[in-house]
Chain A
Amino acid sequence: MTQAEKKGSKTQERQSSLFIISALSPKVSALVSVGRFFTRKDSEKKRTHSKGKKMGWIGDQIDSIKSLQFRQVLAQAVSLGMIVTSALIIWKGLMCVTGSESPVVVVLSGSMEPGFKRGDILFLHMSNDPIRAGEIVVFNVDGREIPIVHRVIKVHEHQDTGEVDVLTKGDNNFGDDRLLYAHGQLWLHRHHIMGRAVGFLPYVGWVTIIMTEKPIIKYILIGALGLLVITSKE
């Protein structure tokens, strides 16, 4: 393979690897378009074969091919590591910019329909501004691991401490969220809230939902990624 050929195929792998990795982890699911950074023009040159088959030199040739393959495997592993690391850097950077532990969340239930349907993704932002009625917040209830996205309907802000008591309700639910809170808890406080929803993209979160609910697809994709890494050496 010529130098340009190698570069071309490497960028293609990087793109597909980045897509697959970003879809695999629910945390990274919004970064699909990062693959663009690695796109370059493909070369139009033909492949040239560099394998010789002279009798008596087979031993030497096999050794050189083996060493070449080992280096190529290492190079592939390093480039894969670079993709994963850069995705992680972007994710952590987003966490810093938005001030929220989880800057992108996938809507899992239909309690906010018709505004947010299952499979949409929400961009969150958390600032020190006080929480006010009407904001769509994402919060964690003690004892539940999955955060909930609902709208604030009642706010009581205390005079002396500045603490807020917040009550939420899903738009499509009949009653408020007191049933969802921990036993005996009547109000949410600021430390329960992870962020406010500021932006929204439809349908993109289905990839993550499918990955989480049918892990088979996750394994198939990892297998395909592995296959792509191995077969592209040729």
Chain B
Amino acid sequence: MHSIGYRANALLTFAVTILALMCAIVSLSDNLNSPSPAAQVQVLNINWFQKKPDGDDEVSLTLNISSNLQSLFTWNTKQVFVFVAAEYETSKNALNQVSLWDGIIPSKEHAKFWIHTTNKYRFVDQGSNLRGRDFNLTLHWHVMPKTGKMFADKIVMSGYRLPEAYR
């Protein structure tokens, strides 16, 4: 009854249970944090806007993205994945979301950032519906914890418009 085997077994069960409980509590502690993020995206330039040979429209933009996501970080945060997506509606599709740029923020110091970039991923429509199209730019973030529940949210910035003609 007091052999090493039994003792190791009891110890292991207890340790694993306590570990699981600790992970759950750590994850719950994330709810205490109330974030207040801020973001701003400017479209500096439409580099080109063409219809591809297969019939789909494509746009290349230069964006200026500035944001302060420091309030999202808690002791349980491993990284924050942030991306900017263009959202728009066409007659064919009720909703289109196209990710233009994404980045990984590994720590709180890097969470206040400013970046000037062309779109990392191609902004391609399903069809040829982008001329004169109004679209929103949303900054989404996805908080990935060291353990537990993941949180995601976004800021929607509207009022952007694509040109009426190809260039």
Bound-state CA distance A228–B126 (Å) is 62
Return chain B residues, CB-CB under 8 Å to A202: 146-147
B87 closest partner in A (C-beta): A133
Bound-state CA distance A202–B150 (Å) is 13
Q: How many A-B residue pairs have CB under 8 A?
A: 116
Return chain B residues, CB-CB under 8 Å to A100: none
Return chain B residues, CB-CB under 8 Å to A151: 81, 142
Bound-state CA distance A199–B147 (Å) is 8
Return chain B residues, CB-CB under 8 Å to A228: 5
Return chain B residues, CB-CB under 8 Å to A136: 142, 150
Number of A residues contacting the other chain (C-beta, 8 Å)?
43
Interface string of B67-82 (1 = CB under 8 A from A): 0000000000011010
- Any chain B CB within 8 A of the CB of A9? yes
- The answer to whether A153 and B99 touch (CB under 8 A), given A15-B13, A158-B93, is yes
Interface string of B1-22 (1 = CB under 8 A from A): 1000110011011101100100
B23 contacts A201, C-beta separation under 8 Å: yes
Return chain B residues, CB-CB under 8 Å to A158: 92-94
Shortest Cβ distance from B121 into chain A, in angstroms?
6
Return chain B residues, CB-CB under 8 Å to A5: 1
A200 contacts B147, C-beta separation under 8 Å: yes
B123 closest partner in A (C-beta): A154
Shortest Cβ distance from A99 into chain B, in angstroms?
17
A197 contacts B16, C-beta separation under 8 Å: no
Bound-state CA distance A41–B92 (Å) is 66
- Any chain A CB within 8 A of the CB of B104? yes
Bound-state CA distance A78–B105 (Å) is 53
Return chain B residues, CB-CB under 8 Å to A200: 144-145, 147-148, 150
A176 closest partner in B (C-beta): B121
B1 contacts A42, C-beta separation under 8 Å: yes
Chain B residues numbered 67-123 whose CB sits less than 8 Å from any CB in chain A: 78-79, 81, 83, 85, 91-99, 102, 104, 106, 121
B104 contacts A171, C-beta separation under 8 Å: yes
B89 closest partner in A (C-beta): A159
- Any chain B CB within 8 A of the CB of A142? no
Return chain B residues, CB-CB under 8 Å to A198: 149-150
Return chain A residues, CB-CB under 8 Å to B44: none
B147 contacts A114, C-beta separation under 8 Å: no
Return chain A residues, CB-CB under 8 Å to B40: none
Bound-state CA distance A165–B98 (Å) is 11
Return chain B residues, CB-CB under 8 Å to A16: 9
Interface string of A92-131 (1 = CB under 8 A from B): 0000000000000000000000111000000000000010
Besides A16-B9, A202-B147, 4 more A-B contacts (Cβ < 8 Å) are A32-B16, A133-B83, A199-B149, A202-B146
Chain A to chain B contacts (Cβ below 8 Å), 14 pairs? A12-B10, A35-B13, A47-B1, A115-B144, A116-B144, A133-B98, A133-B99, A134-B81, A153-B99, A156-B96, A162-B94, A171-B81, A200-B147, A200-B148
